[in-house]
Amino acid sequence: MQSLLVTGGAGFIGSNFVRWVVGQTDARVVVLDKLTYAGRRDTLDGLPGDRVDLVVGDIADAHLVDRLVGAADAVVHFAAESHNDNSLRDPWPFIHTNIVGTFTLLQAARDHSTRFHHVSTDEVYGDLELDDPARFHETTPYNPSSPYSSSKAASDLLVRAWVRSFGVRATLSNCSNNYGPWQHIEKFIPRQITNILSGRRPKLYGAGRNVRDWIHVDDHNAAVWTILERGRLGETYLIGADGEKSNLDVMRAILRLMGQPEDAFDHVADRPGHDLRYAIDSSKLRAELGWTPAYRSFEDGLAATIEWYRGHEEWWRPLKEQVEAGYAQQGQ
């Protein structure tokens, strides 16, 4: 795989994947990104121009997609509308990108017999009760609860259908919550970090009892590459790092690592339909493909993430006022 097409490669997880590939392999990468608010050219700053090429475009543009997929050895499909709150306000972009865009890519992969890896989320499984010892696994029934997670569930099912019906050489992965460098500051962890760095009090939805299973983005991307190289075609692999934490515990960890009192935050109204708990069983990935996370401790990864935002104020500072103004209008 010397030539990769990475969709959504100027977004958070995708840009970190491109950086991982450039640092760990000899592959050349073409990034296809629409550069919406969550995708930015500067997430690719500093990467070698002879290894990385950015194409600005829509994954639902069949002509463009066909040309790019035809020139690639493999497609790694990160591109997605992914903000739950935004999907509640306006579901259409999620249908267009996550469903129509995935269909368009699959058709091109089918026509060119191109290896395809589809990146998805654990949110397609719905949520678990807080006191339930179970975790999501590859055969957990889908039970999405928002327009975002429903559109991702639909895209997963399209991939499986194109594998079975048309022989597309695809794998899928569903991952737990990512954190790390280059994440948009509307998201929970970078929002709280940048609140503290800009002198604002952090904000916590409801009582903060909701549990997420956190993984550092570099660990996620190492797993994606492992699946791309050695995963069995047609299979789904769940990616997780045993990082279950309540939002309250994450908030306290951020405050503690940044030298603040652990109660120095404000509660705000909970999000409608806020899923209770996500938890990933990644034993299939570990047993079959030998992947393990490099960050064994959530706090180690969180400390590295805090330092990244502390050292890249010029990247997030211009966005901060607009993001917080939007949250303020929602009472959050």
Active centre residues (catalytic)? 122-123, 148
Q: Which residues contact 8 (CB under 8 A, 6 or more apart)?
A: 14, 32, 33, 39, 59, 77, 78, 79, 80
Please spell the DSSP secondary structure of 216-252, one letter per residue: EHHHHHHHHHHHHHHPPTT-EEEE--S-EEEHHHHHH
The rounded distance, in Å, linking the Cα atoms of 148 and 145 is 8
Reading across the β-sheet that carries 52-56, which strands appear in turn? 52-56, 28-33, 3-7, 74-77, 115-121, 170-175, 236-239
Strand, coil or helix: what is 141? coil
What is the CB neighbour count within 10 angstroms for residue 261?
9
Burial class (CB in 10 A: 0-12, 13-18, 19+), 124: buried
Token pair 């269909």: residue: 103
Helices 102-112 and 147-166, axial angle in degrees (round to 10): 20
For residue 179, the cross-strand partners are 216
